């Protein structure tokens, strides 16, 4: 107030002694607000008399607008960045195809975003240049592609092929009789009409040849030479070789890790999680095979999912060491074998450790000591069971107690601007 009074006196003397036309000017510090009616009240350029949204006016020195929740350019609006366009896509793609520029805008985290811009994406068959390289729908086969026959929106029926960009009715339908049924010079699987059609028991036409499709009947169904049976045939990779069995890399592999059966026998004698085929696969609800045994994988359902508990020694959720550092619910993390509060700003007792008469919500929980107690922006941490303001220079009530910066007792002797500390509830000039 003393500084404001002295500057007001200086302005008054300037006007009385020299008049408005004398060029007399008073320099205003950048960090103190001064009320005004017109630009002349502000001591001359570069200061101007700017208006706040509520109609009040103050002396302001225009500068480049930044994302800092301040009206840097003195136009009465906070964080209104340049109206120039922005674009963060690869060079040479702006304005090509669907790619276009956006407008800079401030995010809630005070960073600059480029809103409305469109960058290159993977090309899809839609009549547009999605990857912004100047070519539309490249890489799609419109001559023989059944899903895009002639153009993007034409899909041939299951009984049709795409021939020269036209959906044509398939004529070869018997693919195991050794005859050229449609008279086009190709027989059975050698005819593209037969692709994905049966060429006999356990046999399917694939890419102009016979392919094994029944992988658990101990037969060489596609007649290859030398003969390859079931999982030995690469055609069977990832296909079922029986109940609970899946072909993998030329051998039988455990596919069901929950049924207590050695499904890939005689490949090995191991069952479920004991079989390395089951590593990181599900062994039931909330259970995963890991290290040759069952491991708890769901840590917030109140169940002993891996069944390793003993009478008097429960191993449910966080009590099971498998859950260490895993989520045990909203705002809760297993730490060792206990539940730990990790969301210290949502008003919830996330780890459920409150007792009657002793609430342990957010900062009241010792787990939250020195942790952020505001969801966005920071500037306040839990200390001694209370949310305490730590940023005393950002013009924000970070701990939401209704007291701003130096007016908050948390800020006593804390820096309020370079070289200044809060004293007596104020930031010294």
The strand ranges marked E within 202-250 are 203-206, 209-212, 240-242, 245-248
Beta bridge partners of 389: 380
User: Of 17-31, 103-117, 253-267, which gets the smallest average pLDDT?
Assistant: 17-31
Please check the confidence at residue 158 and state whether its pLDDT lies above 80: no
Beta bridge partners of 125: none
Beta bridge partners of 327: 333
Average pLDDT, the chain: 87
pTM: 0.49
Please check the confidence at residue 66 and state whether its pLDDT lies above 90: no
Please check the confidence at residue 5 and state whether its pLDDT lies above 50: no
pLDDT confidence band for 6 (50 / 70 / 90): very low
pLDDT tens-digit profile of 226-245?
999 999 999 999 999 999 99
Residue 63 pLDDT: 85
Distances (CA, A) of 65 to 48, 74, 86, 211: 15, 9, 16, 67
Please check the confidence at residue 21 and state whether its pLDDT lies above 60: no
Burial of residue 131, with CB atoms counted within 10 A of its CB: 0-12 exposed, 13-18 middle, 19 or more buried: buried
User: What is the phi/psi pair of residue 406, to 5°?
Assistant: -60, -25
Please check the confidence at residue 11 and state whether its pLDDT lies above 60: no
Residue 347 DSSP symbol: S
The CB-side HSE value for 122 (13 A sphere, CA atoms) comes to 2
Concatenating the DSSP letter of every residue in 41-85 gives GGTSTT-EEEE-TTS-EEEE------SSSS-TTSSS-TT---SS-
Q: Which of 292, 228, 293, 230 has its CA nearest to residue 267?
A: 230
pLDDT tens-digit profile of 132-144?
999 999 989 999 9
Q: Is the dihedral of CA 268, 269, 270, 272 positive or negative?
A: positive
The full set of domain ranges for the chain reads 2-60, 369-421
Beta bridge partners of 372: 381
Residue 367 pLDDT: 95
Q: How many CB atoms lie within 10 A of CB 201?
A: 11
Average pLDDT over residues 16-20: 39
pLDDT tens-digit profile of 360-377?
999 999 999 999 999 888
Give the integer Cα–Cα distance in Å for 374 and 387.
Answer: 8
Beta bridge partners of 290: 293
Between CA 381 and CA 390, with CA 385 as vertex, the angle to 5 degrees is: 25
Residue 3 pLDDT: 35
Give the integer Cα–Cα distance in Å for 398 and 380.
Answer: 6
Residue 12 pLDDT: 40
Please check the confidence at residue 4 and state whether its pLDDT lies above 70: no
User: What is the phi/psi pair of residue 121, to 5°?
Assistant: -135, 175
Give the integer Cα–Cα distance in Å for 62 and 356.
Answer: 57
Six-digit token string for 187: 């027989």
Please check the confidence at residue 150 and state whether its pLDDT lies above 90: yes
> What's the gap between Cα 324 and its chain centre?
24
Give the integer Cα–Cα distance in Å for 421 and 425.
Answer: 10
How much of the chain exceeds pLDDT 70, in percent?
A: 92
Give the integer Cα–Cα distance in Å for 318 and 112.
Answer: 41
pLDDT confidence band for 45 (50 / 70 / 90): confident
Give the integer Cα–Cα distance in Å for 367 and 193.
Answer: 67
Mean pLDDT comparison of 27-41, 42-56, 86-100, highest-scoring range:
86-100
pLDDT confidence band for 27 (50 / 70 / 90): low
Residue 407 pLDDT: 94
Q: Which of 266, 332, 325, 270 has its CA nearest to residue 301?
A: 332
Residue 242 neighbours by CB under 8 Å, 6+ apart: 216, 252, 263
Average pLDDT over residues 109-129: 90
Please check the confidence at residue 18 and state whether its pLDDT lies above 50: no
Residue 130 neighbours by CB under 8 Å, 6+ apart: 97, 98, 120, 121, 122, 123, 124
């Amino acid at each position: 107030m003393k500084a404001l009074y002295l500057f007001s006196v200086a302005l008054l003397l300037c006007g009385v002694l020299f008049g408005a036309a004398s060029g007399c000017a008073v320099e205003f510090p950048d960090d103190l607000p001064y009320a005004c009616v017109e630009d002349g009240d502000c001591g001359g350029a570069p200061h101007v008399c700017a208006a706040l949204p509520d109609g009040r006016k103050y002396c302001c020195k225009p500068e480049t607008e930044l994302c800092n929740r301040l009206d840097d350019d003195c136009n009465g609006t906070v964080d209104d960045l340049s109206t120039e366009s922005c674009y963060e896509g690869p060079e040479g793609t702006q304005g090509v195809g669907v790619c276009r520029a956006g407008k800079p805008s401030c995010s809630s985290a005070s960073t600059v975003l480029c809103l409305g811009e469109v960058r290159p994406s993977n090309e899809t068959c839609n009549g547009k240049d999605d990857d912004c390289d100047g070519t539309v729908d490249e890489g799609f086969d419109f001559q023989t592609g059944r899903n895009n026959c002639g153009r993007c929106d034409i899909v041939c029926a299951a009984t049709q092929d795409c021939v020269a960009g036209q959906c044509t009715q398939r004529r070869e339908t018997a693919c195991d009789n050794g005859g050229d049924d449609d008279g086009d010079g190709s027989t059975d699987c050698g005819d593209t009409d037969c692709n994905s059609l049966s060429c006999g028991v356990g046999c399917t036409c694939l890419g102009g040849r016979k392919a094994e499709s029944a992988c658990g009947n101990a037969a060489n169904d596609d007649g290859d030479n030398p003969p390859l049976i079931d999982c030995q045939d690469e055609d069977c990779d990832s296909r079922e070789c029986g109940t609970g069995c899946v072909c993998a890399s030329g051998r039988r592999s455990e596919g069901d890790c929950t049924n207590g059966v050695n499904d890939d026998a005689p490949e090995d004698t191991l069952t479920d999680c004991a079989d390395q085929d089951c590593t990181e696969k599900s062994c039931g609800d909330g259970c995963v095979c890991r290290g040759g045994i069952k491991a708890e994988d769901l840590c917030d359902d109140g169940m002993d999912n891996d069944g390793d508990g003993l009478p008097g020694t429960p191993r449910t959720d966080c009590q099971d060491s498998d859950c260490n550092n895993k989520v045990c619910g909203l705002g809760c993390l297993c730490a060792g074998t206990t539940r730990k509060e990790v969301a210290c700003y949502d008003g919830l007792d996330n780890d459920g450790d409150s007792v009657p008469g002793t609430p342990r919500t957010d900062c009241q929980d010792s787990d939250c000591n020195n942790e952020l107690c505001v969801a966005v922006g920071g500037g306040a941490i839990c200390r001694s069971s209370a949310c305490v303001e730590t940023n005393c220079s950002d013009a924000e009530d970070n701990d939401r107690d209704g007291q701003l910066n130096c007016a908050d007792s948390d800020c006593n002797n804390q820096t309020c601007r370079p070289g200044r500390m809060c004293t007596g509830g104020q930031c010294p000039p």
